[in-house]
Amino acid sequence: MRMMLDACVLYPTVMREVLVGCARAGLFEPRWSPRILEEWARAADKLGPEGEVIARGEIAALRASFPTAEVTVPDSKLAQFWLPDPDDIHVLAAAVVGSCDGIVTANAKDFPGNLLAEENLFRADPDGFLIRLFDEAPDKVTAVGEAVLAEARRLSGDDWSMRSLLKKARLPRLGKRLMAA
């Protein structure tokens, strides 16, 4: 399954690490566009000048890890689509050009299901998408969650629980499921 990852699911670190970890585990093929990655870098700039520098390093590492994931959309292709927010059309166009099955986004209102269905796509919120992956491969998703939790503890020095970390990362259902596993 190929999934376009919107900038809003790449920018929060923990959410991105869980999604990318699941992709590394072979549970789905991630896709993004240069514009999506640029949105992530610019959003990280809000943390201060070092935020964007760190994001660009993470983006370079992600590109190296997934060399076939980047989808370039010709400007002429953008005019073929319509969404409630014109700034999101590039995500839809990239999903179509990248032969994706769906778009993982936290932005439901700007990606109406009926418009995506016209392009044979579906919208998945990150928590629901990860629950679906967990249901298909609980051991792999649990291993990803444990690795992300260990790294969060190492980097922050805090003794996070799985549930509190994933709740903060806007993945509360996954956190609950992983705690029960």
The tokens for 139 are 């051991």
Side-chain-side CA neighbours of 174 within 13 Å: the count stands at 32
pTM: 0.94
Looking at residue 113, its pLDDT comes to: 93
Average pLDDT, the chain: 94
Helices marked H in the chain: 7-10, 13-24, 34-44, 49-65, 75-78, 89-97, 113-117, 126-136, 138-156, 162-168, 172-180
- Confidence (pLDDT) at 138: 97
What whole-number distance in Å separates Cα of residue 5 and Cα of residue 60? 16
Max mean pLDDT among 42-46, 76-80, 88-92, 155-159 falls in: 88-92
- Stretch 8-19: mean pLDDT: 95
Q: What is the pLDDT of residue 15?
A: 97
Q: How confident is the model at residue 46 (pLDDT cuts 50, 70, 90)?
A: confident
Task: Give me 115's structure tokens.
Answer: 């418009």
Residue 145 confidence class, pLDDT cut points 50, 70, 90: very high
Backbone angles phi, psi at 4, to 5 degrees: -80, 125
- Asked if pLDDT for residue 175 goes beyond 90, the answer is yes
| Phi, psi dihedral angles at 124 (to 5 degrees) | -125, 125
pLDDT digits (tens, 9 = 90+) for 70-127: 999 988 888 899 999 999 999 999 999 999 999 999 999 999 999 999 999 999 999 9
Distance CA 52, CA 50 (A): 6
